[in-house]
Amino acid sequence: MPKLNTFCLHLAKPDVAEFDALLTDNARSLLRSGNAARSESAEFGDGAVLYTFRGFPQTPKWVHLLQGSFTVPEKLFSQSPCAIVLFKKAASLFALTFSYGHVYIEDAQTEADFGLKVAVNAVSDEKLRGVERSNIGAAIRDAAQAAGQRDFQSFGFDDALDLIRKVSGRAADDEFASMVTGARSLRFSKKIELAEVPAAAEMALALFRSRAYQSTAFGIIDFLSPVLDPAVESELDQELVGAIRDGSDEFEIAIPAIMPDSIGSFRFEHAGINQFHADLSVALYASELGDRLPSLSADDLKKHIVAAYSIDESKPPQRWSVRNALVGSIVRDGERYALNEGSWYRISTAFKESADRKFTELCGRRDTKLRPLKKIYTGTGRKQKVAYQSEESYNEEIAAETDYLLMDQKLIQVDDVPGSRIELCDLLDIKRRRFIHIKKSSRQSSILSHFFKQGSNSARMMRQYPRFKENAIRTVKRHHGSAAATDFEDALAKRWTVDFQIADFPRPDGTNNIPFFSKLTLREEARAIEAMNYNVEINFIKLTAAT
């Protein structure tokens, strides 16, 4: 009987007909120069070609480290050869890679989700060994490996924002394989010889085309999936450029990082634009490009820079490409795609409609007591910078102007409750029973997702931990007096509202909005908050123009 072997398999796109078309330019160059070899076989699958790459002799890095303390023999080289077998089977073209042979495969010519689709159909969602995922809202990617077999929910998925990147586990059908790992490529282990791989590839092709996974926990991969195909990504980038040229309100600019309050002004750089602004928008970008807008290209979006300048001029500015700062969505071939922090995602229509519906449901009335943030000007002439005041100073001023109590920076601690050193809210409205949370911008998914989770966490602490509630009342008493604390305690007997207030200027159509991925977080956190007998609202503090 054959021993257990492990193989790595890729599937070419249907329009790839020739073997060499699946190779990178570098691989073809190595073939022409004689540094790689090509050998055909009519006996493997329905025809195959073996490509072997000799690798290049090079001195390992550890040799230089050792030479500082030891006499090391000369001519210590490492050389890593690799190979690719391209073969046809069932009218499809496959690549079987050995060692680092995958680097010579042109990703744009392969099915980006081949391995993942095969794995979710081949592996039971109750017998997983490992899952790699990324969370869009928190911009976190991680991998979890179980000591034994675990069901899907044991890996702690947030079905709204977690993307499955890789799955591994024992195959449900031993006829197909023993262990399976799938992402772009498929890695499978089976007691077969090389000549039997084409038959296994044909079984994998059937699993790739199957939709059986949709009736399992793996069905969530259809809600939201990353665009991994470079060709599709390029086409979407062209659609993006067209949207900006046409003045579409589908996209906005959001700084792809957590911005400290010390950030004051912004501007576009490497685009022939010098003026500073308190905030940035796509409309402002298009306006400042002027007569250069019609010639805007996808490459320009990567070259043009969004720069964030600190109030402290001794600190260097932070910079990102305009492409990585854009957020929004478009419809292409009947499907909706969203751009977030430099990556495209395909969104299920039902998934998007659900998030949009919940967002609309939660939008409340504008609070007239929450006036716009003030603008602060520094410098003169072309070097004049303008910024909106900080959240901290805004909260302090609103508390002084209204009957709202300032709770910003008033951390509440419960010694035996992990993670309890948190703010109750930014402003406390006892009369209308509202925990008001303030955020300065509505265009960055990771910031808003964290913002919504903070509000949800403080609401949960109030409901689930009596000592936290007691300490919250004591905090109100310490900072605002006994009468306010008594009113607060009495009011807690009734239903309260968690009110998320976001300061931002309206979109070009006059409405306020937040990125799609933030809507997903809002939907999930709002459901959790409502389940604890709170009301939830999201409202907007209208800002004046960014300039």
Mean pLDDT of 220-227: 79
**Residue 276 has what pLDDT?**
83
pTM of the model: 0.66
Looking at the structure, do residues 288 and 147 belong to the same domain, yes or no?
no
Domain count of the fold of the chain: 3
Check whether residue 273 and residue 332 sit in a common domain. Answer: yes
**Does one domain contain both 106 and 242?**
no
Q: Which residue has the higher pLDDT, 79 or 396?
A: 396
pLDDT > 70? residue 315:
no
Note whether residue 359 is domain-resident: no
Residue 79 inside a domain? The answer is: yes
pLDDT digits (tens, 9 = 90+) for 113-126: 899 999 999 987 67
| C-alpha–C-alpha distance, residues 397 and 406, integer Å | 9
Q: What is the pLDDT of residue 314?
A: 55
Query: Are 102 and 62 in the same domain?
Result: yes
Q: What is the pLDDT of residue 255?
A: 67
Q: Which residue has the higher pLDDT, 517 or 538?
A: 538
Select the more confidently predicted residue: 78 or 494: 494
Least confident of 62-66, 74-78, 456-460, 472-476: 74-78
Q: What is the pLDDT of residue 150?
A: 47
Residue 277 contacts residue 332 (beta carbons within 8 Å): no
CB–CB of 192/176 below 8 Å?
no
Model confidence at 139: pLDDT above 60: no
What number is the average pLDDT over the span 235-239?
94
pLDDT above 70 for 208: yes
For residue 355, is it within any domain?
no
pLDDT(160) > 70: no
What pLDDT, on the 0 to 100 scale, is given for residue 418?
59
Q: What is the pLDDT of residue 162?
A: 67
The answer on 303 and 255 residing in a single domain is yes
| 286 residue type, one letter | A
- Decide if 354 is inside a domain: no
Phi, psi of 451 (to 5 degrees): -60, -50
Residue 144 has pLDDT above 60, yes or no: no
pLDDT in the model for residue 151: 46
Q: How far is CA 39 from CA 19, 21, 84, 236, 310, in A?
A: 12, 16, 11, 38, 60
DSSP code, position 110: B
| Cα dihedral across residues 332, 338, 343, 344: positive or negative | negative
Distance CA 255, CA 309 (A): 12
Tokens found for residue 444: 């960055």
Q: Assess whether pLDDT exceeds 50 at residue 260.
A: no
Q: What is the pLDDT of residue 332?
A: 85
Q: Please check whether residue 352 lies inside any domain of the structure.
A: no
Task: Provide the pLDDT confidence category of residue 413 given band limits of 50, 70 and 90.
Answer: confident
pLDDT greater than 90 at residue 20: yes
pLDDT of residue 258: 45
Query: What does the pLDDT average to over 334-340?
Result: 83
Q: Do 12 and 151 lie in a common domain?
A: yes
For 29-88, write each residue's pLDDT tens digit: 999 999 899 999 999 999 999 999 987 777 777 787 888 787 888 777 777 789 999 999
Residue 353 forms part of a structural domain: no
The pLDDT assigned to 495 comes to 96
Pairwise pLDDT comparison (361 vs 521), residue with the higher score: 361
Range of the domain at 144: 5-222
Residue at which a domain ends, from 222, 244, 267: 222
274: in domain? yes
Q: Do the domain assignments include residue 451?
A: yes
Q: How many whole angstroms separate alpha carbon 489 and alpha carbon 504?
A: 33
What does the block give as tokens for 453? 């989770």
pLDDT at 59: 77
The verdict on 25 and 154 lying in the same domain is: yes
**Mean pLDDT, rounded, for 389-408:** 94
Task: Please say if the pLDDT value at position 145 is more than 50.
Answer: no
Query: pLDDT confidence of 156, banded at 50, 70, 90?
Result: very low
Residue 249 reports pLDDT greater than 80: no
Whether 263 shows a pLDDT value over 60: the answer reads no
pLDDT value at 226 more than 50: yes
201 lies in the same domain as 264? no
Rounded-to-integer distance, Cα 359 and Cα 437, Å = 17
CB atoms within 10 A of CB 218: 22
Cα angle 188, 189, 194 (rounded to 5 degrees) comes to 95
Please state the rounded mean pLDDT for residues 500-521: 83
> 3-class DSSP state for residue 511?
coil
The confidence score (pLDDT) of residue 421 equals: 79
Once rounded to an integer, what is the mean pLDDT over residues 330-335? 83
Query: Which one of 203, 222, 241 terminates a domain?
Result: 222
Q: What is the mean pLDDT of residues 321-333?
A: 85
Distances (CA, A) of 545 to 277, 388, 467: 9, 11, 44
Of residues 420, 430, 450, the one with CA closest to residue 490: 430
Predicted confidence at residue 439, as pLDDT, reads: 92
Say whether both 179 and 154 belong to one domain: yes
Report the mean per-residue pLDDT for the chain: 85
What confidence score (pLDDT) does residue 30 get?
92
Same domain, 341 and 380: no
117, containing H or E segment: helix 114-122
Q: What is the pLDDT of residue 475?
A: 95
Domain boundary among 164, 190, 222: 222
Contact status, residue 328 vs residue 338, Cβ threshold 8 Å: yes
Shared domain for 318 and 380, answered yes or no, is no
458 and 532, same domain (yes or no): yes
pLDDT at 18 over 70: yes
CA distance linking residue 304 with residue 301, whole number of Å: 5
Q: What is the pLDDT of residue 404?
A: 97
Give me the pLDDT at residue 209, please.
95
Concatenated DSSP letters of 246-279: TT-SSEEE--SSPPPTTEEEEEEESSS----BSS
